[in-house]
Chains A and B, each alone.
Chain A
Amino acid sequence: EVQLVESGGGLVQPGGSLRLSCAASGFTFDTYWMHWVRQAPGKGLVWVSRINTDGSSTTYADSVRGRFTISRDNAENTLHLQMSSLRAEDTARYYCARGLGIRVFDVWGQGTMVTVSS
C-alpha cells in the first residue's frame, strides 16, 4: 500500500524551530518529486515547498523562503521540512505529498499539525 506518514508537529513559540518528517512506503521513493502543502485551520491549501528526486533542486513559496529547508533521505525513504523563525501565520496542518512532477499531488499523508503560539 502506498503510504505517507508525517510526524514532528507540535506547539512551538514564535521564533522557534521544528523539524517535520514524512515516512514513505509502498512505492519507489527516489523516483518521485516530493512536496509539502499546508492548510491553516479553516482555510485552503497552500503549496509550501518541493524537492526533486535526488534532492539537488528545491523550491519554496515566498512566505517561507529563507526560513524553511526541505530535504530528503532516499536511503531511508524519508522527507523532511526544517522550519525556523516560526511565526503565528505558519500555524497549519502540514501535508506531505507525492508529486507527479512539479504540479500534481497524487498521494497525500494525513498531515501533522504545527501551532506557533506563546
Chain B
Amino acid sequence: QSALTQPASVSGSPGQSITISCTGTSSDVGGYNFVTWYQQHPGKAPKLMIYDVNKRPSGVSNRFSGSKSGNTASLTISGLQAEDEADYYCSSYTGSSTHVVFGGGTKVTAL
C-alpha cells in the first residue's frame, strides 16, 4: 500500500482539463510544500514534471500545473493532448527517516 493516495485512472477528451489528486497526511503532503509529480510513458523512465508543489523544470509544458490544499496536492493538465497519456506519480517529502514517499500512480487517458 502506497503512502500517498492517487486515483487509479483519470480520463478526459482532447482539449479538456483534467486534475489528478494526491492525498497524504500532515506528516507529508500537508506538512511541507515539497510535492513532486512525475510522468511515465509505457516502457520509459519517469520524467520530472513539477516540484515544490508548483514549480516547472525547464522544458516542461506550461499546460502542466500543480497546487496543494491541506493534505491533498493536485496536478492539472490543461488542453489535454494524446501525448499526455501516461502514468503520473506524486511524491512528497516526509518527516520519516526515508524522507520520500510516492503515490500509487494514476493512468491518464485521452478519450
Q: Report yes or no: B34 in contact with A95, Cβ–Cβ below 8 A.
A: no
The stretch that binds A, out of B12-20, B65-73, B75-83, B91-99, is B91-99
A109 to B100 CA separation, bound complex (whole angstroms): 19
A85 to B104 CA separation, bound complex (whole angstroms): 26
A8 to B64 CA separation, bound complex (whole angstroms): 35
Does B31 count as interface, using CB distance less than 8 angstroms?
A: no
Q: Report yes or no: B100 in contact with A47, Cβ–Cβ below 8 A.
A: yes
Residues in A whose Cβ lies below 8 Å from that of B103: 44
A100 to B89 CA separation, bound complex (whole angstroms): 17
Residues in A whose Cβ lies below 8 Å from that of B93: 102-103
Does A104 count as interface, using CB distance less than 8 angstroms?
A: yes
**Cβ-neighbour of B100 out of A102, A110, A111 (below 8 A):** A102
User: What's the minimum C-beta distance from B60 to chain A, rounded to whole angstroms?
Assistant: 11
A39 to B40 CA separation, bound complex (whole angstroms): 12
Does B45 count as interface, using CB distance less than 8 angstroms?
A: yes
> Residue-by-residue, is A72-113 near B (CB-CB < 8 Å gives 1, otherwise 0)?
000000000000000000000001000010111111111100
**Cβ-neighbour of B105 out of A37, A45, A104, A105 (below 8 A):** A45
For this complex, 19 residue pairs linking A to B, each with C-beta atoms less than 8 Å apart, are A44-B103, A44-B105, A45-B38, A45-B91, A45-B102, A45-B105, A47-B100, A47-B102, A61-B98, A95-B46, A100-B51, A102-B100, A103-B36, A103-B93, A105-B36, A105-B46, A108-B45, A108-B46, A109-B45
Q: Which B residues fall within an 8 A CB radius of A?
A: 2, 34, 36, 38, 40, 44-48, 51-52, 57, 89, 91-93, 97-105
Q: Which A residues fall within an 8 A CB radius of B?
A: 37, 44-47, 59-62, 95, 100, 102-111
